[in-house]
Amino acid sequence: MASSLTKDPAATPADEKTFFGHPRGLATLFMTEMWERFSFYGMKALLLVYLLSGGPDAKKGSLAGGIGMDEGTAITVFSIYVSMVYLLALPGGWLGDRVWGPRKTVTIAAVTIMSGHIILALPGGATFFVGLALVALGSGLLKANISTMVGQLYKDANDPRRDGGFTIFYMGINAGAFFAPLIIGTVGQKVNWHLGFALAAVGMGIGLVAFLLGTKNLNPVSSVVPKPLSAEERTSWIRKIVAVLAAVAVFYTAVGMSGMFTKAWATIPLTLIGLIVPAGVLIRIKRDKDLNRDEQSKMTGYIWFFVAAAVFWMIYDQGASTVQSFGETKASGALLGFEFPSSWYQSLNPVFIMALAPVFAWIWVWLNRKGSEPSTVGKFAAGLFFVGVSFFFFLVPIGLAANGQAVSPMWLVGIYLIQTVGELCLSPVGLSVTTKMAPAKYASQMMGVWFLAVTAGDSITSLLSDPAVFGIDLNGTSAVAIEATLAVLAAAAVFMYRKKVKTLMGDVR
């Protein structure tokens, strides 16, 4: 369309302003999410290299002033952070449904994220983890609720504009993710780390202002708490939360006073939480006696998809940790005579997504017309296969760098491209199959369950890299080869048992 402000008399009243033919509130949520993703992915692009800066594995000549961790610990902290963001999406959705309502929850989330970035922008590392925790908490609160509000803009679930609205919203996510490393990453790595984090705070601040100014365009139902807690439930939850926080405080105070506290006392429990919670949620739903036979069968089938997704995200999310660490220390920081910071690698995935997503959508439609479109199980197997191939491809630059010579950045471009192809096979399909296979009783909670696959995958990465547990060099030839083989074998297993999984899925395809 010629402009972003158009009329669509067939879908809306003649005097109502629209955004690309969609409800005006979509512009508000688009801007909010774009700037939130700008702040999130900008900080994420800086995080690994900031953790390494000043440490034994930092790149020679790189900007000092970071935390000074070794590579294994840095990857552990990074993986825990990402796993907690997705884990906290569950309580974030619950707070939106039961306590504050989506609109208020998003406002609180944005303030929390901005506060976290401001703390990260302060000199010194003493408050760093407080800031990181606040960003993770705010991101978890915002993730589910802002998507809910996009859906609420359309009064009818069958509104033909609905899918298009989510597509526009999705483009906002990728636009923010693309520009963030180029701007925040450059300033952080080349000028000052804390100035980079400050820019992330500014980005979230712009998003918050855009949201508050545009709330008049949102559906009023976004201010409503769908299922508010009763007074008794509220009191019970407050008591439980206070009791848990008090127990944790007492325990860690005792550990600290005994002189036994090390980083492992923080990393290992968080890693285990990231594995236990997803498993516990799946077991609780699977054992629910209220589910009928068809729902039980679908949940059994869904476990296949969940485990496959956990393996996929375990490898895929290393693109911002293990692979970026390799790019920072082993790859040339220049291409065709142009120098760039390693944080720029994180702009590759969103640009590939924006370029390839329409192509994949066309391919699936074209194959469907020919009666040859792969099934959901087939697409999952393809996603796992490609992410495995990306790590087999990773073995080549690892081998080339073994003699101490910097490798071409194009090797990493290839890794990110292959991973993006895998993501486009698995991620959109996973979101769709989650909604289709969700038991009626858990319809609103299953999207949070899907996010837990990311939590589980990153928690496994954390466990493997943590020097206090396995301490595996994830940039080593053996580790990369094993992970690549695991993904390809998982793809083969999913494909071999596709008929069994399809049977468990019932009428879902």
* Sign of the C-alpha dihedral computed for residues 84, 321, 354 and 375 taken in this order: negative
CA torsion 30-32-37-38 (nearest 10°) is 100
Alpha carbons 407 and 331: distance in angstroms, whole number? 5
Write the CA distances from 89 to 305, 312, 319, 367, 448, integer angstroms. 19, 19, 22, 35, 6
Which of 278, 302, 251 is CA-nearest to residue 501?
302
**Identical fold, 1-228 and 275-509:** yes
Alpha carbons 455 and 133: distance in angstroms, whole number? 15
Is residue 491 within 8 A of residue 388, CB to CB? The reply is yes
pLDDT the model gives residue 446: 82
pLDDT tens-place string over residues 61-76: 899 999 999 999 999 9
pLDDT the model gives residue 10: 41
DSSP codes joined into one string, 395-408: HHHHHHGGGSPPBP
**Side chain identity at residue 272, one-letter code:** L
DSSP state for residue 123 in the 8-state scheme: S
| CATH dotted code for 275-509 | 1.20.1250.20
Residue identified by tokens 């908490």 is: 137
Structural domain boundaries in the chain: 1-228, 234-263, 275-509
Helix, strand, coil abundance in the chain, percent, nearest 5:
75, 0, 25
pLDDT the model gives residue 73: 95
pLDDT along the chain (509 residues), means of 10: 36 58 89 94 95 94 92 96 94 90 95 97 86 95 87 77 79 92 96 96 96 93 90 94 94 90 89 94 91 92 94 97 96 90 96 92 89 91 97 97 93 97 92 84 80 95 94 96 97 94 84
Alpha carbons 316 and 322: distance in angstroms, whole number? 10
Which of 256, 235, 255, 237 is CA-nearest to residue 245?
237
For 208, other C-beta atoms within 10 Å of its C-beta total 20
Coil, strand, or helix at residue 459?
helix
**Side chain identity at residue 337, one-letter code:** G
Write the CA distances from 340 to 64, 179, 398, 407, 447, integer angstroms. 17, 14, 21, 14, 37
pLDDT the model gives residue 12: 47
Alpha carbons 449 and 347: distance in angstroms, whole number? 27
Is residue 201 within 8 A of residue 118, CB to CB? The reply is yes
The residue ranges of DSSP E strands in 196-241, in sequence order, are: none
pLDDT the model gives residue 16: 60
pLDDT the model gives residue 159: 74
For 2, other C-beta atoms within 10 Å of its C-beta total 5
Which of 221, 201, 223 is CA-nearest to residue 212?
223
Alpha carbons 507 and 206: distance in angstroms, whole number? 45
Beta bridge partners of 272: none
Q: Return the biggest CA–CA distance within the chain.
A: 71
Write the CA distances from 107 to 215, 229, 374, integer angstroms. 10, 20, 41
Q: Which CATH number fits domain 1-228: 1.10.1200.10, 1.10.3720.10, 1.20.1250.20, 2.70.98.60?
A: 1.20.1250.20
pLDDT tens-place string over residues 328-350: 999 999 888 889 999 999 999 99
Q: What ranges in 261-409 are assigned the alpha helix state H?
A: 264-286, 293-316, 322-329, 348-369, 376-400
